[in-house]
Amino acid sequence: MQTQAPSVSLIKANTYEREALRESIVTLLEPLGGMAAFVKPGQRVLLKPNLLTGARPGKECTTRPELVYVIAQMVMEAGGKPFLGDSPAFGSAKGVAIASGYQPILDELNLNIIDFQGKRYQTVNQSFNHLLLSKEAMEADVVINLPKVKSHSQLVLTLGTKNLFGCVPGKMKAWWHMEAGKDANRFGEMLVETAKAINPNLTIIDGIIGHEGNGPSGGEPRNLGILGASTDVFALDRSLAAILNVPPQDIPTVAASLRNGLVGELTEIDFPHLHPETLQIDNWQLPDKLAPIDFGMPRVIKSTFKHFYIRFIKEPMGAYGRS
């Protein structure tokens, strides 16, 4: 039985002005059935932006509030109940959101923000049998993933798959950095497993202005003029790698999705609007030097954290996920 090719919608977009951005999002989602294809009345809809840090406002380290506003508004119009959630690397989700200019949209749309730090559920699979994910993320009726196009000092690029790492509670993020050690491939595999477990219904990537160089926060803004969307986060990431002219094998998350047969070549993806070839970016700046996954943490810290994990966090719970 032949499976249907994943569809990746790619368009040009050059402004975050609300009305123009809304028109762009409507065009972007039209081949996928529009927002009503994903959201039904009464459903709780997690909007998962990239809320990395509020320390560099204006440097395009986070998903733009204008994009979140338009998506939240469209979710409400479809009858859904949107809320924001993340587990930032630095600070609280609400603190990062406010520092990144989200307060006006939170007030206008009465949006709630949840920090993914609370009760945890265990997702079981063969290789990562202690991968714990946020209860709030797993219990959402619909997940709309809203990543930012950025270079990454450990993973080369951070796109849709990596953004879902924010559904791992904060302390567990540190655990996985240490568990992977200096093995970027294993870390990439873990991120792919996280994305499979969360299984976002829709991913919309913010590439109007990206963040290049020593990302995810130490680089600089770069105008790209791109928006992308897909129900298949792995196909979307594969397509963005082609746009940025980065070999997929060099990006641990994309390489892992290829190894696991979750995505194929560009010829196996349907592009209803623009093809990556027509959107290619010249001289996208990658990090000067890749950093180790474990941040070079001393052995004693790793040992202490492992003890803490086993004693207080790891719970013998079964697999858990959205239907």
**CATH code (residue 67):** 3.40.50.11440
At a CB cut-off of 8 Å and minimum separation 6, what does 137 contact?
46, 48, 85, 116, 143, 167, 198
pLDDT above 90: residue 302: no
Specify whether the CB–CB gap between 238 and 259 falls below 8 A: no
Judge whether 260 lies within some domain: yes
51: closest CA among 35, 73, 67?
67
- Average pLDDT, whole number, for the chain? 88
Q: How many domains does the chain have?
A: 1
Q: Determine the pLDDT at residue 319.
A: 42
pLDDT of residue 1: 38
Res 317 pLDDT > 60: no
Residue 279 Cα distances to 75, 241, 242, 254, angstroms: 28, 11, 9, 19
- Quick check: is 321 in a domain? no
- 259 located within any domain: yes
Number of alpha carbons in the 13 Å side-chain half-sphere of residue 12: 7
- Give the pLDDT band (50/70/90) at residue 182: confident
Q: What is the pTM of this model?
A: 0.90
Residue 11's pLDDT band (boundaries 50, 70, 90)?
Answer: very high
User: What residue has token string 């219904």?
Assistant: 201
Token reading at 110: 């009465």
User: Would residue 86 count as lying in a domain?
Assistant: yes
What CA–CA distances, in Å, run from 313 to 64, 119, 121, 143, 164? 33, 10, 10, 25, 20
Instruction: Provide, rounded to the nearest whole percent, the portion of the chain with pLDDT above 70.
Output: 85
Residue 323 resides in a domain: no
List beta partners, residue 144.
47, 202
User: For residue range 188-216, what is the model confidence (pLDDT) as tens digits?
Assistant: 999 999 999 999 999 999 999 999 999 99
Residue 51 has a CB neighbour count (10 Å cut-off) of 33
Classify residue 47: in a domain, yes or no: yes
Q: What is the rounded CA–CA span in Å between residue 291 and residue 270? A: 35
Asked if residue 320 is part of any domain, the answer here is no
Strands 120-123 and 131-134: antiparallel
Q: Helices in 158-284 by DSSP H: which ranges? A: 160-163, 170-180, 184-198, 233-243, 252-259
| Torsion angle defined by CA atoms of residues 153, 155, 158 and 162, in that order, rounded to the nearest 10 degrees | -130
* Backbone angles phi and psi of 64, in degrees to 5: -60, 135
The model's confidence at residue 176, banded by pLDDT at 50, 70 and 90, is: confident
Give the pLDDT of residue 70.
Answer: 98
**In this predicted structure, which of 58-72, 165-179, 217-231, 272-286 has the lowest mean pLDDT?**
165-179
d(CA 16, CA 209): 9
- Residue in 218, 222, 251, 220 with CA at minimum distance from that of residue 237: 251
145 contacts 166 by C-beta, under 8 angstroms: no
H runs (alpha helix) in 58-133: 65-77, 93-99, 103-109
Q: Is 289 a member of any domain?
A: yes
Distance from C-alpha of 229 to C-alpha of 8, rounded to nearest angstrom: 6
Question: 290 is in which domain, residue-wise?
Answer: 8-313
